[in-house]
Amino acid sequence: MNMQNPQYIIVMKIGPYCGYPLKEIIDIKQEEERKVGKFFIGYSGVFCRPKVVNNLVNHSINHNESIKVLFIETKSSYDNDNAKEFNYFSKDGELWQELSDEILLVGDTNKKHFAITGKNLKKVNYKLDLTQYCTLMGMFPNKDQYLDNYLKYRVDKACGYYFPRESVKEKKVDISYMCDLVDPYCVYIKE
């Protein structure tokens, strides 16, 4: 796999969150992995819900490829005075398991939240050309929707499939952190 163009990606913006500076979040996640073998990164919103991520996972498994999670650093902070810890996770939203005490996930527990699971979180410094990645429509590459037009405005995360195009103006973003997506990939979380 070419590290500049991994076949399957999840791109997410990451920054200060609920009073934690980004450096501390990274340290916490790396410590989680040391203690429990993987870490959880939580989020809310309508993008990259478990069903969408699982479609990407199934497509990648069918092609014997791994998925890289690429993080775009943002300086904007999300603060919430009502932030609480999440204590449970579920692969399907029905059967719930308790999160290890070693895992810290916080956020507005009144909203639906999800988490990806990863390993090998590290600082990187390279540029990713969004014009070369399309989204998936179910289990199929969506050649009508590339990340350069999709990942903007309030869209802060997306699943992508490397499907290069020629004769398009590059739109590169700085990738600050990277990890491998690992089982159970994407889960529901709750208080």
Between CA 6 and CA 12, with CA 31 as vertex, the angle to 5 degrees is: 35
- pTM for this structure? 0.94
Q: For 121-164, how does the pLDDT look when each residue is reduced to its tens digit (9 = 90+)?
A: 999 999 999 999 999 888 788 999 999 999 988 899 999 999 99
pLDDT at 49 over 90: yes
The pLDDT, as a whole number, for residue 1 is 39
Q: Kindly state the average pLDDT of the residues 170-191.
A: 97
The per-residue DSSP string of 14-75 comes to: E--BTTB-HHHHHHHHHHHHHHHSSEEEEEESSSS-HHHHHHHHHHHHHTT--EEEEEEE--
Please report which confidence band the pLDDT of residue 79 belongs to, taking 50, 70 and 90 as the band edges: low
Instruction: Choose from 43-47, 107-111, 112-116 the range with maximum mean pLDDT.
Output: 112-116
**Alpha carbon of 138 to those of 7, 9, 13: distances in Å?**
17, 15, 23
